């Protein structure tokens, strides 16, 4: 459980997409793919509380954030 909390602290939400979208997670996956093309470590996660797909950037050391 502690490892999961640590992983959340090392992420930055880049964008959010509603889970009720007719295309499901596809828009979020496409956005994450564009981020990865630019060299950013991005992935899609589901936020059950907000009922949305989040595109998050993974920060390897958690010590800095990009503006």
Q: Parse the chain into domains and list their residue ranges.
A: 2-58
Buried b (16+ CB within 10 A) or exposed e, 48-61: eeeebbbbbbeeee
Query: 16: Cβ–Cβ under 8 A, 6 or more apart, which residues?
Result: 47, 50, 52, 53, 54, 55
pLDDT at residue 6 tops 60: no
pLDDT at residue 58 tops 80: yes
Q: Give residue 8's pLDDT.
A: 53
- Place 9 in a pLDDT band, splitting at 50, 70 and 90: low
Pairing of strands 52-58, 11-18: antiparallel
Report the predicted TM-score, pTM, of the whole model to 2 decimal places: 0.72
| pLDDT tens string 16-40 | 999 999 999 999 999 999 999 999 9
């Amino acid at each position: 459980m502690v490892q999961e909390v640590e992983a959340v602290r090392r992420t930055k939400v880049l964008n959010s997409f509603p889970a009720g979208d007719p295309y499901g997670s596809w828009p979020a996956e496409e956005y994450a793919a564009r981020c990865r093309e630019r060299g950013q470590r991005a992935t899609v996660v589901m936020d059950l509380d907000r009922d949305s797909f989040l595109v998050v950037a993974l920060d390897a050391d958690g010590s800095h954030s990009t503006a």
